[in-house]
Amino acid sequence: MPTSNVLDPAFLARLEALQLSVRHVRWGSRTGGRFVINRRGSSIEFADYAAYVPGDDIRSIDWNLYARLNRLFVKTYKEEVELAVDIFIDATASMVLPSLEKFERACHVGLCLAYIGLADHHHVRLSAIQTGPPRATSWSFHRADLTRLIAWTHALSPAGSVTLSEWMRTAVGTLRMRGGQAILISDWLMRPADCLKALHLLAAKHLDIKIIQVLSPHELDPIRLVHGGRVVDTETGATHELAYSASELARAVGEHNERLARFCKRHGMLFAQHRLDEPLDHFVLKTLPARGLLA
């Protein structure tokens, strides 16, 4: 569905000068990369000790240390891994309001970040936040895989609604997410408790989390979208009587977005808001590096 002509060779060449910022890596699905992690088990180079937890191999327990401290510790070893980057694109019905441009822009941002990751030799996967079981591409490893990722976004049709926390609970298991980097692209116009719970689920998997909020100028000034005293939820079809004045509605949206930004800051999740009246190239090349999401 999204057009790809914005991702022309000249723009892609500019993207290659950027890198995904990486705060921590605690897991990798492929060895041989440049990120060093400490893992339980056995290897050549000893790294450190870690407290024993049920499920650890008892052969890794240092019994001499137990005799001195009366506590169980296991040895960890250094291992070099590649960074796993999961990019989640919201494909629910809210992403086509007030126009399809919002969903297209979310896809373009996701594809730009995917290409930056591939150019930096990470392995990248796209997923659609949508009704039904989690849909995802296979892992991509090379720049040339961008063509396949573009085709995958073309096949997406935003529709329906999800409870993000329940969708994420299924996704972290189905997609076997653990310890890499997760980038979520959405308008984040959902119940605050639901989106915060979803982010807690990702944080529990030791993921380096980045949040991008894509909004139209009308959504930041929502009274322009209201005609009369009634609004309709595009995801559920539910009708609501509008009980806010124009200023109260704008303040409620601002407080919702500010709460999301504060949550991200408090939990070490990088956050950036993207308005559709900001050109894509400026957002990716200027805003994201300024917000720390790119380096």
The vertex-162 CA angle with 22 and 248, nearest 5°, equals 85
pLDDT digits (tens, 9 = 90+) for 233-248: 555 556 555 555 667 7
User: Would you say 36 and 78 are in contact if contact means Cβ atoms under 8 Å apart?
Assistant: yes
Distance CA 149, CA 11 (A): 17
Rounded to whole angstroms, the Cα distance separating 203 from 208 reads 8
Q: Could you tell me which residue, 192 or 288, shows the higher pLDDT?
A: 288
Least confident among 60-64, 96-100, 199-203, 247-251 = 247-251
Residue 69 CB coordination number (10 Å):
10
**What is the value of pTM for the model shown?**
0.78
pLDDT computed for residue 39 by the predictor: 44
State the pLDDT at residue 46. 58
Rounded to a whole number of angstroms, the CA Rg of the chain reads 21
What φ, ψ does residue 153 adopt, rounded to 5°?
Answer: -70, -30
Q: Which residue has the higher pLDDT, 24 or 91?
A: 91
Summarize the confidence of residues 269-291 as an average pLDDT: 96
- Average pLDDT of every residue of the chain: 83
Q: Which tops the pLDDT comparison, 165 or 65?
A: 165
Q: What share of the chain is helix, strand, coil (3-state, %, to 5)?
A: 40, 25, 35
Q: Is 224 helix (H, G, I), strand (E, B) or coil?
A: helix
Give me the helices (H) in the chain, please. Answer: 9-15, 63-69, 101-119, 146-154, 164-174, 192-203, 217-220, 246-266, 280-282, 288-291
pLDDT of 159 above 60: yes
CA distance 40 to 22: 22
Q: What are the structural domains of the chain?
A: 9-26+82-291 (3.40.50.410), 33-81 (no CATH)
More confident residue, 214 or 30: 214
